[in-house]
Amino acid sequence: MFVEGSTLPHRFTDFTKVKLTRGSEIPLKPSTNDKWDIEVTCICVLPSTNILVGENYNTSLRIIDQTSEIISIIGLPCAPHSICTLSLDRVAFILPFMPMIQIASVAGDRIILQENIPLKMKKTRYSGLRLLNNNFVLGTSDGRVVKVNRDGIEILSTQNKTTLFKNPVNIEVANADIYVADYGTHTITCMNEMLEVLQTFKYPGHIGPFVIMFVGGEQILVRGARPDRPWSMLQVLETTKGTFKELFNVSHGAKEGHNFPYWSYCPRLGKLYMVKRSYNLEMDSYNETIVEYVYKHKGT
């Protein structure tokens, strides 16, 4: 299975009882056609364990292997965001400046663009794409969560709940419920299919949450930060208890100018894949690397 967020079934690992061990690094090499530094916008691990990478400045989608070699690459009209798995060999992602949802095949580790779904609100920027019962759920830049059908038409919205969200930047679907990460209100909100609020979790990190990812059972991984740890922090939210447990922080990376803005994970390999972002102020350039973190139950 491959996930940036998880919409497919997989074996459950209790992330409150795991130990993370740093593994190898996969540098992101430029292609011969790249004119700018690579800046990742989204990633997910494919069934082959190759990695699908969305890229900003060169507006591309590429597949790389575990040695960082480029397997396939395709140019896009703008940078892709929020990869969503539809099946083992199909993904969807947002082209936010079009705006549209683009469907693509990744069968055989070749990227083939298929149908696209224009989104009707032209002045709205969309984020956090997920699939739920043949409709898509997205966050919007005007503080709403919406459901759109396969024609791109909004069929449901939180529009009348004007104080519910400020920046619904990331969305996850878990056990038929919708979870919304909002870094403006510092909350994770659980809603049902009708976009009715079931529960709200106050994020304890004070900066974020930015990314959430369902990992099975009743657990969601959460990326954010704290003022005393200004870089990325990884926690697990146990939704049945409403508690957060810190798994990992990279505050030590602050000295190196590192951040970990995007991730994916592969249950089959027992690994998290995190994008390590470094910015060289003197050179005015980015250096992006994918870092593996192996997770195992403590004591094994």
Could you tell me the CATH number of the domain that includes residue 213? Answer: 2.120.10.30
Residue 6 belongs to a domain: no
Residue 177 belongs to a domain: yes
Letter for the amino acid at 47? P
Taking the C-alpha atoms of residue 95 and residue 115, their distance in angstroms, rounded to an integer, is 13
Residue 3 belongs to a domain: no
Domains identified in the chain, total number:
1
Q: Which domain holds residue 223?
A: 15-297
Confidence (pTM): 0.89
**Sequence-separated (6 or more) residues with CB below 8 Å from residue 60:** 31, 34, 54, 73, 74, 75, 76
Residue 5 belongs to a domain: no
Residue 127 belongs to a domain: yes
**What tens-digit pLDDT sequence spans the chain (300 residues)?**
334 444 344 556 889 888 888 899 999 999 999 999 899 999 999 988 999 999 999 999 999 999 999 999 999 999 999 999 999 999 999 999 999 999 999 998 899 999 999 998 777 889 999 999 999 999 999 999 999 999 999 999 997 666 789 999 999 999 889 999 999 999 999 999 999 999 999 998 778 999 999 988 889 999 887 666 555 788 999 999 999 998 876 544 444 445 677 888 888 888 999 888 776 666 666 678 898 989 887 765
Taking the C-alpha atoms of residue 169 and residue 139, their distance in angstroms, rounded to an integer, is 6
